Each structure stands twice: as C-alpha cells, then as structure tokens.
C-alpha cells in the first residue's frame, strides 16, 4: 500500500505568536503562509482569544481571509464562503460554547451581592474598554462585538468568587482567568476546536494523514499545544511563559513571526514536505 501523504493543519495563536508582540506585524510569516496556501501543502487556522470583528481587521496584513478560523478561545468556529465544514457550506459561524446573550442573561440573574462586583465589556463603553485593556479605541470597539464570551473585571473576594463559580457552573458557564480580566465562557476550549476541525478534514481527505501543528505563547494555548501532533511554545521577549513535559512539544528559537517561520519550516522538513526558500 502506498504511503499516505501528510497534510498539516497549522493552528496558530496570534498575539505574540504569529504577530510580533510590539509591532503586530506578521512578517516574514505572512509570506510563508501565502506559499503554503498557494501550493496546497497545508492549511493555516488562526485560533485566538480575539473576536471575529478583531480578526477581520487583521486580514489586510495576514493572508487568512479564505481559511477556517476560531475566535474567543475556541468558542466560535468561522467557515468562509465556499468551504464545507461538517457537511455545511460556508459562510457561517458555529458556536461551540454558549451564546453571548445567554451569558448576559445569566449574569443578570445573579444575586445582587455578587453582581455588584462584576463589570463586563457589556457594561463598559469602548473608551472604558480601551483604557482597561490598552487597546486603541477602534480595536476596543471591535473587542466589544462578542459572540460567546464575556470578559469582566472582578472586585469581590475569593470567597465570593467561589460562590460565583458555583452558580455559573450550574448554568454550564465557566470562569477563566486571564491577565487583568476574568472571562465567562461556555464549555469550549482551543483544543476542542482543534480536534473538531481536524476530524472534519480527516473525513473530507481520507487519503491523507491530517497532522495537527499548534503554536502559542500563553497558558490558554498549552492544552492545545500538548494535544497536537507537533506542539510549539513561542517565547516572548521576556522568555518562555509556559512549560510542558511532553516530548513532542518544542520551543521556538525566537519570539513572534521569525520564530514561527523557523518552527514551521523545521516541522515541514520532518514531515518530508518541501517549502520554497525564503
């Protein structure tokens, strides 16, 4: 039986991974992505905590407008026009977690003694979001266009936070901690979205070995990185912020898109796939 060819799916975080931490540039990774797409030797899937509106604003600088993408930390899968995913033709979005309106409804049902400690994006103006996050005002507006998660500031005690978690868990809503913000989210995560997309590709391309490559730099990327066939931890300018003991996970040699390119070229070479020289 002839050996089946490898077809890599590259699941990539954006900030600090595909995009430079300071400039938000994807160079030189943007050129490599174009080569991979043009030669049909792989598929690049952005998988980010950003909203769909934020991701669309980046498509002028990253050649990803015609690919499946995942936003809000695995909660929403977006299928572009002409693409078939799980039997349905795009364009459409599939919410893997819980819809935003349901999250807001559940927050509204909380006891006042807990609700008073919560300030979510829905409660904040774009200017307030900008000041709290450091985003420019235009990006803060896009960050407020949410579909399945709600970031919020918490001013209560740890005891009260545990009470909040118990109530929200009963409503099938998780609380994840980011940097300054907590996040209300459904039972969805980046690694689950990755598994779902990989399964769909395997059914559509049964004559190929679908290989999952995952790259990221933050704690919310680690489970995805470890679940991939090839995992890549991206360092940031201050060093490596996440660690693993999994032998199939490597650390990129440098931060951002420069390290991204080297890691992808190395993995493609190990798979016997030839990429053009840059």
Distances (CA, A) of 25 to 11, 18, 157, 162: 18, 8, 39, 40
Rounded distance, CA 226 to CA 265, Å? 19
Query: Binning pLDDT at 50, 70 and 90, where does residue 2 land?
Result: low
Longest dimension (CA), the chain: 66
Rounded distance, CA 120 to CA 153, Å? 6
Segment 137-167, tens digit of pLDDT: 999 999 999 999 999 999 999 999 999 999 9
Query: Binning pLDDT at 50, 70 and 90, where does residue 134 land?
Result: confident
- What are the chain's domains? 5-95+189-270 (3.40.50.1000), 100-185 (3.30.980.20)
pLDDT in the model for residue 62? 81
Report yes or no: 148 and 75 within 8 Å, Cβ to Cβ: yes
Distances (CA, A) of 30 to 63, 72, 182, 214, 243: 7, 22, 32, 17, 27
pLDDT in the model for residue 240? 75
Dihedral pair phi/psi, residue 19, rounded to 5°: -105, 140
Tell me which of 95 and 82 has the higher pLDDT.
Answer: 95
Distances (CA, A) of 236 to 1, 45, 62, 240: 44, 21, 20, 6
Query: Binning pLDDT at 50, 70 and 90, where does residue 1 land?
Result: very low
pLDDT in the model for residue 278? 62
> How remote is the C-alpha of 97 from its chain's centroid?
14
Segment 189-237, tens digit of pLDDT: 999 999 999 999 999 999 999 999 999 998 889 999 999 999 999 998 8
Report yes or no: 68 and 83 within 8 Å, Cβ to Cβ: yes
Report yes or no: 177 and 185 within 8 Å, Cβ to Cβ: no
Dihedral pair phi/psi, residue 250, rounded to 5°: -120, 165
Dihedral pair phi/psi, residue 179, rounded to 5°: -80, -90
Tell me which of 212 and 63 has the higher pLDDT.
Answer: 212
pLDDT at 61 over 80: no
CA angle 122–79–218, rounded 5-degree value: 60
| Residue-averaged pLDDT of the chain | 92
Report yes or no: 185 and 173 within 8 Å, Cβ to Cβ: yes
Mean pLDDT over residues 40-58, rounded? 93
């Amino acid at each position: 039986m002839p050996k089946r060819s490898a077809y890599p799916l590259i699941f990539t975080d954006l900030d600090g991974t595909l995009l430079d931490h300071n400039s938000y540039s994807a160079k030189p990774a943007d050129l490599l992505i174009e080569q991979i797409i043009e030669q049909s030797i792989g598929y690049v899937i952005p998988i980010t905590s950003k909203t769909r509106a934020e991701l669309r604003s980046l498509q002028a600088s990253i050649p990803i407008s015609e690919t499946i993408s995942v936003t809000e930390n695995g909660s929403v899968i977006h299928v572009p026009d002409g693409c078939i995913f799980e039997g349905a033709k795009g364009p459409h979005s599939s919410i893997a977690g819980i819809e935003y309106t349901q999250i807001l409804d559940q927050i509204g049902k909380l006891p006042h003694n807990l609700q008073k400690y919560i300030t979510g994006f829905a409660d904040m103006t774009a200017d307030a979001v900008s000041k709290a996050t450091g985003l420019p005002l235009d990006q803060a507006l896009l960050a407020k266009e949410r579909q399945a998660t709600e970031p919020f500031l918490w001013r209560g005690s740890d005891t009260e936070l545990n009470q909040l978690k118990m109530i929200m868990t009963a409503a099938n809503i998780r609380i994840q901690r980011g940097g300054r913000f907590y996040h209300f989210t459904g039972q969805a995560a980046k690694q689950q979205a990755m598994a779902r997309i990989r399964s769909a590709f395997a059914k559509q391309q049964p004559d190929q070995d679908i290989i999952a490559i995952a790259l990221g730099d933050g704690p919310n990327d680690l489970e995805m990185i470890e679940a991939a066939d090839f995992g890549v931890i991206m360092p940031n300018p201050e060093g490596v912020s996440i660690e693993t003991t999994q032998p199939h996970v490597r650390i990129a040699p440098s931060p951002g898109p420069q390290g991204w390119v080297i890691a992808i070229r190395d993995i493609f070479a190990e798979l016997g796939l030839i990429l053009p020289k840059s």
